[in-house]
Every structure is written in structure tokens, then in C-alpha cells.
Structure 1
Amino acid sequence: MIKNILIVEDDVVFCKLLTRFLTKNSYTTKDAQSAKQAFELLKEQTFDLAILDYRLPDDNGLSILESIKEGDKVSKVILITRYGDQEVANKAIDLGADAYVSKPINPDELLNVIQNL
């Protein structure tokens, strides 16, 4: 069962919106606005789920996904891609992502994806 979620999203406003929404839905969340911050959080603790934005200022979500799949710090991964970026979504699934969600994100749709993992 998913309880503890890492959100990696460089858009601070959107990241805080997701954090607040998921917290209100009984999840514990930590957030990072860069790959560097994400890797630091992954050194400190484990997560049931990581929600990774593809485009980050210092890297991309696929490299974080690859690192996650090499270790045991995260059980499930959702990659966030911009609408229509099917090639990235397919690569994420090939690398082991459990799901992907296209931007713009409907929070209720994301919640449904999380609950079905």
C-alpha cells in the first residue's frame, strides 16, 4: 500500500499543489525541485512511490528512474510527461516505470493512478 511519496517537479507552484493535494488525501510527501535534491532525499529514506517530472533543470526523470530501479529506495514510479510526448512515456515504461501521466495533470486522475498501482 502506498503511503510515502516523493514528488520531483521543478515547477514550485505545481509541486506544492501536488504535495498539498496528496497530503489532504492521507499521503505523506516529500518534494524536490531538482534531480540533485531528489537524490539527496533518496539517500535519507525510502518511498513507496516516486512521481518524477521528465524535464528538470539539472537532469531528467529518466535518469532518476534508472537510479531508482538499480536500488531499493522506491517501490513504484510514475513519470510525468508533457502532453503528446509518447516516446518519453514509452522509454519510461521500458525502464521500469509503473505508469505515466501527461501534463496538464488532473489531480483526481493522478490520485486514481496512484490508487491503482
Structure 2
Amino acid sequence: MSNKILIVEDDVVFCKLLTRFLSKNNFQVMDAQNGRDALELMELNRFEFAILDYRLPDMTGIEILEKLKSGNKDSKVVLITRYGDQDVAAQAINKGADAFVSKPINPDELLEVINGLR
């Protein structure tokens, strides 16, 4: 399986922190801070993994999840949010998310989740 991963997170500092961390852990990482940019990256690349923030400025992580899964059903998706809402978690899992993680996120724990999905 490829190590190509997409991170979609509107908090630029947190997004870049995750990008650097996962790059150091042998992932080929691309990131976006909004849904529009994420969709453009998805048109040009095939991602085996995605880390999607639920609340984005222009759409939800679940909308991106649906588009990603429609193009590659085998992609593994971790949905993240500051809002530990059970309804969001249930909706994400129902739409095909493989894991749901609430913020604040420890990068080492996120890496464990990703490696567990491989």
C-alpha cells in the first residue's frame, strides 16, 4: 500500500505540524486548508489515507470523505474535529470513515491510528 496521505485542516499551524510529523514518518504528504483545494488535489492524486477536519470554511470533512471514497473505496479516512459530537462520529462512520479522533490530537497517537488501518 502507498504511503500517500492527504491532510485537510483549516488551522494552518496544526496542518503544517501534522504534515512535517507524518513526512518524518515516511509518508508522502499533501495538505489543504479548505475543501476546494482538497478536491483539486484529489483530482490530480490518488490517496491511500486522508485526515479530514470536520469543520472547514467551505464544506465539511464528510463531504470530502464521500468524494474521496467515490473515487477510491479502499482509501482509509480519519475524521478529526474539536467538537466531540457523537452524531458527527456516527455520520462519519456511516459514510465510510475508518476512524474518528477528537482534538486536541497527539501526533504519536494519530500515527498509531494510521498504522492500525494499514
TM-score range, shorter chain: over 0.9
- Per the alignment, residue 28 of structure 2 pairs with 28
Q: CA deviation at 1:72?
A: 2.0
1:85 offset after TM fit, Å? 1.5
2:7 — aligned with what? 7
1:16 corresponds in structure 2 to: 16
Give 4+ residue runs of structure 1 displaced > 6 Å after superposition: none
What is the match of residue 106 of structure 1? 106
Name the SS for the 1:116 alignment partner. Answer: helix
Deviations 1:14-52 (A, max 9, x none): 000000000111111000000000000000010110110
Q: TM-score, normalised by structure 1?
A: 0.95
- The 8 Å contact of residues 47 and 73 in structure 1, kept in 2 or not, is answered as no
What is the RMSD computed on CA atoms of the aligned residues?
Answer: 1.3
SS of the equivalent of 1:47 reads coil
- Secondary structure of 2:48's partner? strand
Number of matched pairs: 117
Q: TM-score, normalised by structure 2?
A: 0.94
8 Å CA contact retained: 1:47, 1:74: no
Gaps of 5+ in 1: none
Give 1:84 deviation, angstroms.
2.3
Task: Name the residue aligned to 2:65.
Answer: 65
Output the amino acid matched with 2:43.
K
Aligned match of 1:80: 80
Structure with a larger share of its residues in strand: 1
CA displacement, residues 34-81 of structure 1 (integer Å, 9 cap, x when unaligned): 000000000001011011000000111011111112222861111002
Paired-residue identity, %:
66
